[in-house]
A and B are shown apart, each in its own frame.
Chain A
Amino acid sequence: MMKILFPGLMVIILVGLVFMGVQEANLHLLFGITIPYVAISIFIIGVVTRVVKWSLSPVPFRIPTTCGQQKSLSWLKCDCLENPSTTAGVIGRMALEILTFRSLFRNTQTELKQGPYLVYQEEKLLWLAALAFHWSFLVVVIRHFRLFIEPIPGCLSLLCSLDGFMEIGSPVVFLSGVALLGAVSFLLLRRILSRKVYYISLPADYFPLFLIIGIAISGILMRYFTKVDVVNIKAYTLGLLSLQPVIPTDVSVIFYIHLFLVCVLLVYIPFSKLMHLGGIFLSPTRNMANNNRLKRHINPWNYPVKVHTYEEYEDEFREKMKKVGIPVEKG
């Protein structure tokens, strides 16, 4: 239970911290300017360091997990996506993996074929929820660019209008926000209610979920309920971006909470499992072609090893070999 309570409490404390800081102690400068700058710096430096560190470790062997027919005889159809032998195939495989979570989907396949009763519920939901979560998160992030770019490019406006195509409410409800909150709540519930997943989970698995829920809720509150003044905010974000920061005027504490939680998330990413967003690109079982026998892979730290040579072997068994007529080097 501690592993859920502790991270949950952490997020509540963080929220409380901003609330006190902004509402009581008037630390607008700290929460509005200093922390965002620090967070962004840590995020960028942290992510870069992490990726660089990963890439500093070499890939000594070519070890793709092959999930389809290899390319061998010309008349056998090979599976160029699940078992790619070319770079194009690898790119295709990675794209499937990153954009559609191909491997996670594999979980559900059997069930789809086996009808009539529904099994594999949880796995299917996991794939769906993961997909919904990551895609809506991406849309939400991209959508926020409208606060950072002036004038807003056409494609961004298009995305926003697509996202709000249901045209419910005022301001228009963005589907991505709803999907994000729904998906992340499902992922959290799954981690708590599925005993199997609960058992393997760590505090570090709950913390980012609580954090993202906090971010989503504060964002939704801001947009639909406290109805924050977007013009003010945009002036603030553009100021941040042009390195001439100004403290936004007339914005509620909810905005600061939202902003601070985002900052915490940014700082948290490079030190956590959330780095999987970068790691997947470097995963040797997925990003390598299965052309092992065709093209030699070089291990940069390959070193000579002690071997038992043929000469040593023959010395030991020469007489026995001669007796049964096995040819030897030294008569």
Chain B
Amino acid sequence: MAKEPKPQEIISQINYKPPQKAWMDIPVEIKEGMFCYGAKEKSLQTLDFPNARAWSVLDEDWKLPEKWDKIVLEGMAERLKKYRSFKIFMDICVRCGACADKCHFFLGSGDPKNMPVLRAELLRSIYRKNFTAAGKILGKLGGGRKLTIDVLKEWWYYFYQCSECRRCSVFCPYGIDTAEITMIARELLNLLGLNIEWIAGPAANCYMKGNHLGLEPHTIKNSIDFLVDEIEEKTGVRVSPTFNRKGAEILFVTPSGDLFADPGTYTCMGYLMLFHELGLDYTWSTYASEGGNFGFFTSMELAKRLNTKLYSEAKRLGVKWILGGECGHMWRVINQYMDTFNGPADFLEVPTSPITGTEFTNAKSTKMTHISEFTADLIKHKKLNLDPKRNDHLKVTFHDSCNVARGMGMFEEPRYVIKSVCNNFYEMPENTIREKTFCCGSGSGLNASENMELRLRGGLPRANAVKHVQEQYGVNMLACICAIDRAALPPLMNYWVPGVDVTGVTELVANALVMKGEKERTTNLRGEDLSWIEDEESKSTDETQIRV
């Protein structure tokens, strides 16, 4: 017995064992399941990005341009001049550790370099070595280190393990935002052609075809026509959306993911039904057919290049204002960047609901309003005929999408909408929602399939909170207002919390929406049976009769 190794000894062989060495001395190890494939030559070429070539992440040689280090350092110098945020965030971190355990990737993986402070230090150490006196003179003692190929790979690995969710920034006493640092780091990596295909591919699609999925105009129309048929089948109402129609009052833009894959398609059907019921004078655009912006995960310039289409299409079509669908980072861009990028949108008017007459003064300059703001206003003015009972089989909780939460502050509108269309709503614990919401683990272009382990780890804190409300209240539906959430949360729930489904908020609205001329709804948009409503109704009538 004594000769056998103790279980602890077996465990001690695990190469996951504590790094006793300082973090700077631990070279990066690129692990399967934790990274996305490198950007393809063709995608980068389409976008006119430098160093487009065939390469593989696992190869030793990343085929970098000559003097790549010079390119990076010059890029850094340029960005230090252009962004006060970058400069200040490089300088003032005191490494207090408040952010350390706020990152969902750290919580799920335990990898110290996933602590926001260390993620930023990866870049800061190079900054100190090259741009500060202390780092230049003292070297490592001054917190600096040389930019080597290993450092570069480390950057690539860890800055594509940050979902730019800004949660750490909420807890930082100086407001240091790792998202900002990651964005700069990714810009630097893109100077060398070091993107991931899951970002570069959709961005290239979006540039040429107008949307991430690369849907061509006729395909968009076909996809929506298919949804129109579905709606007719379920509700008996034939809705008739228009495309690229000049003179419409409103241009509607939403992430293309909603046209294509469940459960986003149900949300998309929700838009179609809602707008039809309101008799809204609106149009879709096949050119500006993407609300999301994967350019934002690459560089500010590319974000701007993709974002341009929204205003230019609005101008071409002569609409009065733009209505935006449910999406996370799309709204970060619209709320904090679009007007600065491509404004002023003086050819548009202040968004005004044609149904309620409400002027959305908060969007006075950008002229774009969020569907949740729009719907909340409708419901408040009692303009929708709603039957929340149809959602009674659902016990709903709401996942605040990071970008909408921390880059906009839209907490109450979607909650108001959900509570108006669902009778059973339960909040997740306080430290996992609103400004403290946990990321789905797949934001900022990380929702590929090859990095599933990373996504599952990063999604653990969110899933764990969902599990809690599932156990506590029997929650079976996770509502969200983000297309990446709708794509990323289903596998996350499937793995961590089986029995919980994912829905967009507008899908819930559409299911509760009593439309003029509709037939009796026997199923919801997903085709799930609703006959239990009748049973319950007859039951309650029975009860009334007994009481009488």
List chain A positions with a Cβ less than 8 A from chain B.
2-3, 6, 50, 53-63, 65-73, 75-79, 82-83, 85, 97, 101, 103-104, 106-107, 109-110, 113, 123, 126, 130, 194, 196-197, 199-205, 271-273, 275-276, 279-280, 282-286, 290-299, 301-302, 305-310, 313-314, 316-317, 320-321, 323-328
Q: Is B143 an interface residue (CB 8 A)?
A: yes
For B304, what are the chain A residues with a Cβ–Cβ distance below 8 Å? 305
Q: Are A280 and B174 in contact (CB under 8 A)?
A: yes
Nearest 4 interchain pairs by C-beta: A66-B409, A279-B92, A70-B409, A285-B175
A196-B100 CB under 8 A given contacts A204-B142, A283-B174: yes
Could you tell me the distance between the alpha carbons of A6 and B142 in the complex, rounded to whole angstroms? 11
For A282, what are the chain B residues with a Cβ–Cβ distance below 8 Å? 84, 88
User: Which residue of the partner chain, among B84, B101, B313, B365, contacts A310 with CB atoms under 8 Å?
Assistant: B313
Q: Is B448 an interface residue (CB 8 A)?
A: no
At the interface, is chain A mostly helix, strand, loop or mixed?
loop
Could you tell me the distance between the alpha carbons of A58 and B416 in the complex, rounded to whole angstroms? 38
Closest chain B residue to A329 by CB distance?
B316
Could you tell me the distance between the alpha carbons of A55 and B87 in the complex, rounded to whole angstroms? 10
B residues 62-118 near A (Cβ < 8 Å) are: 80-88, 91-98, 100-101, 112, 115, 117-118
Closest chain A residue to B220 by CB distance?
A326
Could you tell me the distance between the alpha carbons of A314 and B84 in the complex, rounded to whole angstroms? 40
For B245, what are the chain A residues with a Cβ–Cβ distance below 8 Å? 327
Could you tell me the distance between the alpha carbons of A50 and B339 in the complex, rounded to whole angstroms? 31
B residues 206-223 near A (Cβ < 8 Å) are: 207-210, 216-218, 221-222
For B366, what are the chain A residues with a Cβ–Cβ distance below 8 Å? 292-293, 296
* Interface pairs (28), CB distance under 8 Å: A2-B141, A54-B84, A57-B83, A57-B86, A60-B82, A63-B407, A65-B407, A66-B408, A68-B435, A69-B409, A73-B358, A73-B360, A196-B115, A197-B97, A200-B117, A203-B142, A205-B94, A205-B95, A273-B93, A273-B95, A275-B92, A279-B92, A279-B174, A282-B88, A290-B409, A294-B365, A317-B286, A326-B243
Could you tell me the distance between the alpha carbons of A14 and B83 in the complex, rounded to whole angstroms? 37
User: Which residue of the partner chain, among B141, B210, B431, contacts A6 with CB atoms under 8 Å?
Assistant: B141
Total interface residues on B, using CB and 8 Å? 105
For B416, what are the chain A residues with a Cβ–Cβ distance below 8 Å? 76
- 6 new A-B pairs (CB below 8 Å) besides A57-B87, A126-B97? A61-B340, A63-B180, A202-B95, A285-B176, A293-B362, A320-B218
What sequence of 0s and 1s flags, for each residue 501-545 of chain B, a beta carbon within 8 Å of any chain A beta carbon? 000000000000000000000000000000000000000000000
Q: Is B419 an interface residue (CB 8 A)?
A: no
For B340, what are the chain A residues with a Cβ–Cβ distance below 8 Å? 60-62, 296-299, 302
Q: Are B380 and A73 in contact (CB under 8 A)?
A: yes
For A83, what are the chain B residues with a Cβ–Cβ distance below 8 Å? 409
Q: Is B368 an interface residue (CB 8 A)?
A: yes
Q: Are B169 and A62 in contact (CB under 8 A)?
A: no
A302-B94 CB under 8 A given contacts A68-B435, A75-B380, A104-B173: no
Could you tell me the distance between the alpha carbons of A123 and B102 in the complex, rounded to whole angstroms? 12
A280-B316 CB under 8 A given contacts A57-B81, A57-B83, A104-B98: no
List chain B positions with a Cβ less than 8 A from chain A.
22-23, 48, 80-88, 91-98, 100-101, 112, 115, 117-118, 121, 132-134, 138, 141-143, 166, 169-177, 180, 207-210, 216-218, 221-222, 243-246, 286-287, 300-301, 304-305, 308-309, 312-313, 316, 334-337, 339-341, 343-344, 358, 360-366, 368, 373, 376-377, 380, 405-413, 416, 430-431, 435-436
A73-B363 CB under 8 A given contacts A285-B175, A321-B217: no
Q: Are B435 and A66 in contact (CB under 8 A)?
A: yes
Could you tell me the distance between the alpha carbons of A78 and B361 in the complex, rounded to whole angstroms? 14
Q: Are A310 and B316 in contact (CB under 8 A)?
A: yes
A309-B312 CB under 8 A given contacts A204-B143, A273-B94: yes
User: Which residue of the partner chain, among A56, A62, A272, A305, contacts B301 with CB atoms under 8 Å?
Assistant: A305
Could you tell me the distance between the alpha carbons of A66 and B435 in the complex, rounded to whole angstroms? 7
Closest chain A residue to B374 by CB distance?
A73
Rounded to whole Å, the gap between the CB of B89 and the closest CB of chain A is 8
User: Which residue of the partner chain, among A69, A97, A199, contacts B112 with CB atoms under 8 Å?
Assistant: A199
A286-B82 CB under 8 A given contacts A66-B435, A203-B141: no
Q: Are B97 and A57 in contact (CB under 8 A)?
A: no
For A65, what are the chain B residues with a Cβ–Cβ distance below 8 Å? 166, 169-170, 175, 177, 406-407
Could you tell me the distance between the alpha carbons of A312 and B410 in the complex, rounded to whole angstroms? 37
Could you tell me the distance between the alpha carbons of A323 and B286 in the complex, rounded to whole angstroms? 14
Q: Are B410 and A72 in contact (CB under 8 A)?
A: yes
A103-B305 CB under 8 A given contacts A83-B409, A201-B95, A302-B340: no
Could you tell me the distance between the alpha carbons of A62 and B208 in the complex, rounded to whole angstroms? 29
Could you tell me the distance between the alpha carbons of A75 and B343 in the complex, rounded to whole angstroms? 29
For B96, what are the chain A residues with a Cβ–Cβ distance below 8 Å? 104, 126, 130, 197
Q: Are B218 and A326 in contact (CB under 8 A)?
A: yes
For B138, what are the chain A residues with a Cβ–Cβ distance below 8 Å? 203
For A285, what are the chain B residues with a Cβ–Cβ distance below 8 Å? 85, 169, 175-177, 180
Closest chain A residue to B93 by CB distance?
A273
Q: Are B175 and A57 in contact (CB under 8 A)?
A: no
Could you tell me the distance between the alpha carbons of A199 and B406 in the complex, rounded to whole angstroms? 29
Rounded to whole Å, the gap between the CB of A267 and the closest CB of chain B is 12
Could you tell me the distance between the alpha carbons of A3 and B25 in the complex, rounded to whole angstroms? 14
Q: Are B134 and A271 in contact (CB under 8 A)?
A: yes
Rounded to whole Å, the gap between the CB of A327 and the closest CB of chain B is 5
For B175, what are the chain A residues with a Cβ–Cβ distance below 8 Å? 65, 97, 103, 280, 283-286
